[in-house]
Structure 1
Amino acid sequence: MPRKFATLAFAVATTLLAGCSTSSSGDKPEAAPASGTHAGHGRCDAAQAQFAVGQQASAGLLSEVRNKSGSQEARIIGPNDMVTLEYRSERVNINTDATGKVVRVNCG
C-alpha cells in the first residue's frame, strides 16, 4: 500500500512540475507592427470610431467601428440594456438612444 501512494505522489508531482516548465526553443513574442494601423493589437481606441456618433446603429456599423477602433470585441448598448460592469480594454461599446442612433462610442 505505501508503494502505491509513493507511485501516485510521484506521478502527481511530475505532472504538476511538467506544467511549470518553460521551453528553451527561444521563441519570442512577435513585436507589434510599427505602422499607424490598429489592426491586430486588440486594444480599443475609441477616438478612431467617433465617426459613428449620430448614425443609426446596425450590424454593419458595429463591424466597421470594431475594425476602425482596433478592438477584438464590440457591442451595441441601448438605453435600458443591462450590461456587465467590468472594464475590458479590447472591447468597444456603441451606446444608442431609444431610436437606435449612436450617442457615444467608448471602450470598455
Structure 2
Amino acid sequence: MNQERLTETAQNERDEDSRSVVSVIYKNQLKQLLRALNKLPTDFPSIYLDASGIVNDTLDDLQLFLPTTNTLYLIDLRRLGDTAFITVGHSEISLRLILESRGIPKAGFDIRDL
C-alpha cells in the first residue's frame, strides 16, 4: 500500500470519528441549535430524536442527532423548561415548530410516550 493510500485511509477514519456532542442548557446554545436546524435538507430524515426521563408527563431530556453535521445535541429540558420549545432563532422558527413540521423528515427512537 503506498503512502497516498495510507493517508487517504487515515483521513476517512478521522472523518467517521469526528462526531461532536453539544449540551444545550442555556438559551444562547438553543439559538445556535435552531440555526443548525434551519439549514437541514428535507429529502431524507435529517433529525434523529430520542427522549429520556418521561415521568409523570414530564420530559427531562431530548437528544437530537443531525447526520449532516455529525452532531448530537443533548437538550436539558428540566433546566430550560418551556423556553426550549418557544425560543425562536433569527429565522423566527422554534424547536416546537421544527419538531411538529411535516416538511422536515424525522426519525424517532422509543418515543411512544411523547
Both proteins in one fold, TM over 0.5: no
Q: TM-score, normalised by structure 1?
A: 0.25
Structure number with higher relative contact order (C-alpha < 8 Å, ≥ 6 residues apart): 2
Q: Which of 1 and 2 has greater Rg?
A: 1
Greater strand content: 2
Q: TM-score, normalised by structure 2?
A: 0.24
